[in-house]
Structure 1
Amino acid sequence: MDARRKAGWSFMAAALLACAPAFARTPNDAAAEAQLREVIRRFDAAIVAGDGATLRSLFLPQPSAWASVLGEAEYARLKARRPEAQRVRPDTYENFAKMVETAKLPQRERFTDIDIRTDGAMASVSFDYVYEEDGVAQNRGIESWQLVKADDGWKIVSMLYSVHRP
């Protein structure tokens, strides 16, 4: 490699290294992360208690995005029974809160591998989940929430999750 090409590559490498901090993940605000973990805890506790009012309070009280997407195997099973079935199913937090309030059997959502990204004003929370009814796993998948810091605390503005049967 001639000296000019080597110098050019050296310059490019130095430029990329100088830009790396601009692309690095900003560390979470510790207080905001603790508050977001509390939202997750309250969400779980509300499901266990059948407390739809608390669930509703965790969402921004305006139309929000809520959707589930069926995994490949689950979608194929459902499509075989109901050809009109849709893979992506929009819903609302209000319907979920009603389902939790009226459930005949105990409900629980377990969260693992929680990842929180926040700058203190907005946040993205994702995790693996298992939804249980009477202690038996009903579905599992990954779930993602988008939240904003409102005057009265963190509020979920969108929720997306995949659905796989155990």
Structure 2
Amino acid sequence: MKTALSAVLLGTALFFSVPQSAMAQSLADSRQKIDALIETFRQAIINKDTAGFMQLFLREDITWTAVYSDGSVDRYNASLKDPKEPRGTKIQNSSPRKFIESIARAKETMAETFSNVRIDTDGDVAQVWFDYTFIAGDYKNNWGKESWQLVRTEAGWKIAAVVWSAEENPVPRVLPKGAN
């Protein structure tokens, strides 16, 4: 009787442990692939790689939304010289293509740093949440929190939405003479 019960318990333990260990490995693989996607995103900005950057997205028309701090909006609007100029707003929508093309046109080096990266996934969908800093040349342009929604496709992980907060640097940037 003891042997039969031991065999049943051992069989049950093996049945439940194999799928869980396989699931843990699958989630670890997903996290590695998502980490690689994050690094590819970062490198595409540095290298001004429009084609490589655009391959990271599910579609071109994903949600791409910034939420600017009240102070950032107020400073921008106070800096306007012409009252006919469009006023800055708290919520601004754009696209990944417009973002990377503006970086590719810039004469100076651009970079985005990531810290406190958190990834939550079930292996098919994921959320990535992190602190970021965007740097233009040697100027810390803006910073905040950023969130990505990802989906795992037949072609690998793709970014389906990007939403971030932005605090613009309150210290004005001083460009060297002749720079744009």
Asked whether the equivalents of residues 60 and 96 of structure 2 are also in contact (C-alpha less than 8 Å), the reply is no
Q: CA deviation at 1:134?
A: 1.0
Alignment correspondent of 1:47: 45
Say what the alpha-carbon RMSD is for the aligned residues. Answer: 1.9
**1:1-166 residue pairs with structure 2 within 5 A?**
29-81=27-79, 84-166=87-169
C-alpha deviations, 1:100-146, integer Å up to 9, x for none?
Answer: 22121001000000010000001000100000011321100010000
Q: Percent identity?
A: 30
1:46 CA drift (Å): 0.6
2:146 and 2:59 map into 1 onto residues whose CA distance is 21
Specify the SS of the correspondent of 1:29: helix
Aligned partner of residue 168 in structure 2, secondary structure: coil
Q: Extract unaligned runs of 5+ from structure 2.
A: 1-23, 81-85, 170-180
Alpha carbons 1:70, 1:164 under 8 Å: kept: yes
Inter-partner Cα distance in structure 2 for 1:69 and 1:79: 15
| TM-score of the pair, normalised by structure 2 | 0.73
The 10-residue stretch of structure 1 (94-103 or 40-49) with the greater mean CA deviation from structure 2:
94-103
User: TM-score, normalised to structure 1's length?
Assistant: 0.79
**Segments of 4+ in structure 1 off by > 2 A?**
78-85
1:53: how far off? 0.7
Change (3 A) 1:139 1:148: same
Quote the Cα distance in structure 2 between the aligned partners of 1:137 and 1:81: 19
Task: Give aligned pairs, total.
Answer: 141
